[in-house]
Amino acid sequence: MEALLSLSNDLAGAVERAAPSIVAVHARRRLPSTGIHWRAGIVVTADHTVRMEDGITVEAADGRSRPAALVGRDPGSDLAVLRVADLDTAPAALGDDGALRVGHMVLALGYGPRASWGVISALGPRWRTWRGAEIDRLVRLDLVLYPGFSGGPLVDAAGRVVGLNTSGLARESRLALPVTTVARVTDELLRKGHVARAYLGIGMQPVRLPEPLRAALGLPGDGGLIVVMVEPDGPAARAGLLLGDVLVALDGAPTGDLEDVQAQLGAERIGTTVTALVLRAGARTEVRITVGERPRRGAS
């Protein structure tokens, strides 16, 4: 039975090593969420659990409550960064999310500390959230994220933080933001207060293009995106894009689905001009759009 005992001790040890860097974040009514003391005076948590901008408090592992200032938030990656003065508990020891393998034992931790046990159920390449943020790798978990666990650390068997758990990015499955992404987004939020995302101000749906039309007009792909919503006074509206236009290419690259558009629209494109090839009334039209920046939630 020695093997079981030593595993048990290792798991309890992992919780104890990570526990000092775990905080409770009081930024919504009722249940607090969990946060990670990321580096001296900086706490990261899941953005969807931050429901107020003022009066946020953070309760550290030493049991003391401290006021926290919201430095920045990125709903796209579901990350919020708080600054907490006088937070003298130890920040998290970070692990390497690149070393994770499917089947590795991991722990999700909540303030308290409270623990949930499971395995890495799937790993995948770079992906984009439904709100447009790029996540460096997909980390899917087979474990239970109990109420209040969002924003807390995903910890490896050695007690190192390898991710930030959230239920805010997928309805059905439990995911972690890898520490690589947390570090990148946190740095950007500390620098600028928000993460800039390129923005056209249109809603689109994929459509198939009939073969005769493609042939007649020399269209690049077999699909396009029909514009179903145009944000008034948005970048696309100002450029003259109309409801019902079918976007078939951006700067010459075919746009068969929304991913193709997002791939063309990194933050570096903000302020530059893209040429949209659209189908309007059965004919090719080119529209030059000056890429805008996605408006922030709550910003006037």
Partner 1 sequence: MSAVLTAEPTVEPLAAAAAAMAAELARVTVEVRGRGRGAGEAAVGAGVIWHPDGLILTNAHVAHRDVTVVLADGRACGARLVARDPRRDLAALVVDATGLPAAEIGDSGALRVGELVLAVGNPLGLVRALSAGLVHAVGPRAIHADLRLAPGNSGGPLADARGRVVGLNAMIVGGLAVAVPSREAQRFVREQLRG
* Active-site annotation, residues: 48, 78, 150
Tell the smallest beta-carbon distance from residue 124 to partner 1 (Å). Answer: 22
Q: How far apart are CA 71 and CA 134, in angstroms?
A: 21
Question: First vs last Cα of the chain: how many Å apart?
Answer: 63
- Cis, bond preceding 67 (omega within 30 deg of 0): no
Could you tell me which of 196, 195, 185 has the C-alpha nearest to residue 42?
185
Give the integer Cα–Cα distance in Å for 107 and 297: 32
- Nearer to partner 1 by Cβ, of 142 and 231: the residue is 142
CB of 140 to partner 1, least distance (A): 18
DSSP at 19: G
Q: Which is nearer to partner 1, 147 or 210 (CB)?
A: 147
Minimum CB separation from partner 1 for residue 141, in Å?
13
CB of 99 vs partner 1, minimal distance in Å: 9
Measured in whole angstroms, how far is the alpha carbon of residue 170 from the centre of its chain? 10
Applying CB under 8 A, the residues found at the interface with partner 1 are 1-5, 7-16, 19, 104-105, 107, 112-117, 143-144, 146-147, 156-159
Q: How far apart are CA 25 and CA 13, in angstroms?
A: 24
Q: Which is nearer to partner 1, 11 or 242 (CB)?
A: 11
Looking at beta carbons only, is 2 or 54 nearer to partner 1? 2
Beta strands 273-280 and 198-199: pairing type? unpaired
Task: For partner 1, give the closer residue by CB, 49 or 186.
Answer: 49
CB of 114 to partner 1, least distance (A): 5
The rounded distance, in Å, linking the Cα atoms of 32 and 68 is 14
Among residues 132, 61, 55, 53, the alpha carbon closest in space to that of 299 is found at: 53
